[in-house]
Amino acid sequence: MVVVGCHWLLPHAPPAGSSLDAASERGRADLQRVGETRRDTSADGAPSDAGADGSIADLPIPGCPSSQRCAPAPTAGMSGLAYLRVTPWPATSATPPGTPPACSATGTASRRYAAPSAPACTTCGSCTGAGSCTPPRLRRYKDAGCTGSFDDLSVSSPGVCKPIAPGTDFSTWLEVSAGTPINADCKASGGKVTPAAPFGEIVDVCAAATGASCGSGKVCVGNEPAGSPWSLCYRMTGNQPCPSGTSPRPTFGAFSDGRSCSACCAPPLAGCAGGSYSVHVCTTSCAANTLCMVPALTVNTGECKGSSAYFTQKDDSSVVASPSTPTVVCNPENGAGVASGAVTSGDQVIFCCLP
């Protein structure tokens, strides 16, 4: 039998300084760099390790320029992304203050509202009345006792002189009655809708421009507008529930404020009393005269005076009235200052906002 000699190949270190030793060092360095790359990068290409301060923010997002950010892409039930800025609507203002801000790209933010105000009323105060009276009424009768047909000689305003044409009858009877109440009203401090603002919040909305994908299920989104803090939100279609990890933000567009308060005061009980007429003969200016030598005749409310000396002369005459005094009585209304109604809107959009 022929025995062939065999040699076992045993590992041995290459000579120091040889080319094989340098290659081995380079291989180990390459493997170390690959390992570090794998530790710093997740499966979808997004950073997995924290930055210097322990946050992901220190590491750049692959695929998005500096003017954009990476966010989960909208899914079914969403109509896009938007930035929302929420500011308080001052409670004492019935109209929203200020104007919508500018958006990042072009245009101005659309304005919406949130947190409808519930109906409430301020406390009713005491009721006070006010009103006035028409001028007292003056009638001229032909028959004694102020009966039968008559001419109405009433003035349009107290203190204004009214010329009267000469009479044709030797028997003239004058009657004065008080004016009638006008513009009577009862008012109370309080009993007003509160707050005056129909909503508690003003919501300015800017559409968020989207770009390329920045990972599985993610998309690059333009940065928020300048100014106050903005939230990135999904605009939902219909009344879809918000996905996990987002906060719902119901908003409203055009609205109607139907809040009201019942009256604090009952309807006024109004009346007029007093008033009189002065009748001047032989003058159209209601001034003292010496032509007819007939003194002015005063007829008070409730009186019927007869005299053949008045309105029977061939000269013109005139009358002037003093006003009646109004009386307005006001009482509290039962169930005063009760709130009712609501702020309503047929334009509701729900946003789901990222933290």
Q: Token pair of 28, please?
A: 């180990």
Q: Could you tell me the pLDDT band of residue 157, with boundaries at 50, 70 and 90?
A: very high
Residue 50 clears pLDDT 70, i.e. is over it? no
Report the C-alpha gap between 262 and 191 in whole angstroms.
Answer: 8
Task: Give which of 279, 273, 277, 261 is closest to 326, Cα–Cα.
Answer: 273
Residue 4 clears pLDDT 50, i.e. is over it? no
Report the C-alpha gap between 11 and 21 in whole angstroms.
Answer: 14
Helices (H) and strands (E) counted in the chain, each on its own, are 1, 25
The reply to whether 272 and 325 lie within a common domain is yes
The reply to whether 98 and 141 lie within a common domain is no
Radius of gyration of the chain (CA): 47
Q: Token pair of 33, please?
A: 């760099």
Residue 235 clears pLDDT 90, i.e. is over it? yes
The reply to whether 157 and 178 lie within a common domain is yes
Query: Cβ atoms within 10 A of the Cβ of 254, count?
Result: 9
Q: What's the farthest any 2 CA atoms get from each other in the chain?
A: 182
HSE-up of 132 (CA within 13 Å, CB side)?
A: 6
Is there a contact between 180 and 137 (Cβ–Cβ < 8 Å)?
no
Q: 13 or 351: which carries more pLDDT confidence?
A: 351
Report the C-alpha gap between 116 and 255 in whole angstroms.
Answer: 10
Average pLDDT score over residue span 84-102: 93
Q: Could you tell me the pLDDT band of residue 34, with boundaries at 50, 70 and 90?
A: very low
Quote the mean pLDDT of the chain. 81
Helix (H) or strand (E) segment spanning residue 31: helix 19-40
213-231 tens-digit pLDDT: 999 999 999 888 887 789 9
Average pLDDT score over residue span 186-209: 94
Least confident of 2-11, 138-147, 319-328, 338-347: 2-11
The reply to whether 102 and 142 lie within a common domain is no
276-330 tens-digit pLDDT: 999 888 888 887 766 677 788 899 999 999 876 666 666 678 899 999 999 999 9
The reply to whether 183 and 278 lie within a common domain is yes
Q: Could you tell me the pLDDT band of residue 334, with boundaries at 50, 70 and 90?
A: confident
Check residue 249 and give its pLDDT: 96
Report the C-alpha gap between 297 and 299 in whole angstroms.
Answer: 7
Burial class (CB in 10 A: 0-12, 13-18, 19+), 136: buried
User: What is the DSSP secondary structure assignment for residue 58, as one 8-state letter?
Assistant: G
Task: Give which of 322, 319, 321 is closest to 163, Cα–Cα.
Answer: 319
141-153 tens-digit pLDDT: 888 889 998 989 9
* Residue 349 structural domain: 62-121+194-260+340-353
Q: Token pair of 113, please?
A: 């509202």
The reply to whether 173 and 217 lie within a common domain is no
The reply to whether 236 and 271 lie within a common domain is no
Is 18 inside any structural domain? Answer: no
What's the domain count of the chain? 2
Is there a contact between 274 and 327 (Cβ–Cβ < 8 Å)?
no
Tokens 């909208």 correspond to 74
Distances (CA, A) of 245 to 59, 229, 349, 351, 352: 23, 19, 19, 13, 9
Residue 127 clears pLDDT 60, i.e. is over it? yes
Is 147 inside any structural domain? Answer: yes
Is 204 inside any structural domain? Answer: yes
